[in-house]
Amino acid sequence: MLDGSPTRTMSYHPEVGAGVADIDLSERTALVTGATSGVGRETALALGRLGATVFVHGRDRDAGRRTASAIDDTSGNAVFFRADLAETDTVRRLADEIRARTDRLDVLVNNAGAHFSDGQLTDDGVEKTFAVNHLAPFVLTHDLRNLLSDDGRVVTVSSAVHRRADGTFDVTTLDGYDGLDAYAQSKLANALFTIGLARRLDGPTANCCHPGFVPSSGLWRDASVPVRLGVGVLARLPHRLVSGFVDTSATAAETLVYLAASPDAADVNGRYFSDCKPVEPSAAATDDRLVRELWSLSEELTDVSWPE
């Protein structure tokens, strides 16, 4: 949260905390993945209140329509797109649907994410956390890159949990699977992807961020019973008791909204943000060797080839 923001309440708006409440996005189009609940929904609503046309993505049709209707009731316009991001083919179909709807995209927020306590392989033969959290943004951004405006922005949601990861992307086997380790590796991949993407985009910028710890987020719906119980307790505690280490979905959306809308972030590229400020990620997250290796692995796993 930027200094001087008002007290956080249930009706708190993230664009206020991000310092962009007076920004006009009425001529901008944004796609927010995972926008039917949690941080993604708050981000989509904020961009809509700023006047943007918002493409709302999610898996739940009813929740997606509710989010789109809420945006339509403000200053924005919204269209809902339903897609499961676990498989490359469905990600590419989503991109096709977006391209059929618009010839310009100003903001792409890669927010959708998942955490699985039990290891699963997708039909593509890839560990599911890695597929949803990294390969989906990798493919979606590739397929939409030609729609990005010259001053467009790609915002990818990473996490401070990336610091737990060592960059060993053994993602075609479930041997020794640990849900938190898999999640951490996928969030490290988000940071490394951002650096590689920033080097390849000519005009648009790419940044990533840690939104905060949000117990109320749907991210934990597939976690183990003990994890779900723990975050459930934290989600129910009064915010004043846990505000030092727990965010609401609205306060966690601040940095995403800042990167999507703030003039101060317009020329920032390839950085990792927290609390609306650039911070240093782990050493692994800026390792050039890992950037190159992850990029090659991602192209191999998705059969997608990015131009250098």
Q: Out of 9-23, 73-87, 193-207, 284-298, which region has the weakest mean confidence (pLDDT)?
A: 9-23
25 assigned to some structural domain: yes
Coil, strand or helix at 257: helix
Over the range 166-185, which residues count as b (16 or more CB within 10 Å of their CB) and which as e?
ebebebeeeeeeebbbbbbb
pLDDT value, residue 307: 83
93 assigned to some structural domain: yes
308 assigned to some structural domain: no
pLDDT value, residue 11: 73
pLDDT value, residue 215: 54
- The pLDDT tens digits for 172-181 are 999 999 999 9
Q: What is the mean pLDDT of the chain?
A: 89
The total of structural domains in the chain comes to: 1
Average pLDDT over residues 135-163: 97
76 assigned to some structural domain: yes
Domain CATH number, residue 176: 3.40.50.720
2 assigned to some structural domain: no
What is the rounded distance in angstroms from the CA atom of residue 112 to the CA atom of residue 193? Answer: 15
Could you list the active site residues? 183
Angle at 44 between CA 43 and CA 50, to 5 degrees: 90
pLDDT confidence tier of residue 247, bands split at 50, 70 and 90: low
Coil, strand or helix at 261: helix
pLDDT value, residue 231: 44
Contacts with 11 (C-beta within 8 Å, 6 or more apart), sequence order: none
> Percentage of residues in the chain with pLDDT exceeding 90?
81
Which sign, positive or negative, has the C-alpha torsion 181, 182, 187, 191?
A: positive
307 assigned to some structural domain: no
What is the rounded distance in angstroms from the CA atom of residue 52 to the CA atom of residue 76? Answer: 5
Average pLDDT over residues 253-264: 98
Domain range for 282 is 14-300
305 assigned to some structural domain: no
pTM recorded for the entire structure: 0.89
176 assigned to some structural domain: yes
What is the rounded distance in angstroms from the CA atom of residue 290 to the CA atom of residue 127? Answer: 19
Q: Are 36 and 56 in contact (CB under 8 A)?
A: yes
pLDDT confidence tier of residue 214, bands split at 50, 70 and 90: low
3-state secondary structure string across 21-39: CCCCCCCCEEEECCCCCHH
Please tell me what DSSP assigns to residue 264: G
Q: How far is CA 288 from CA 121, 132, 138, 184, 196, in A?
A: 28, 23, 18, 19, 9
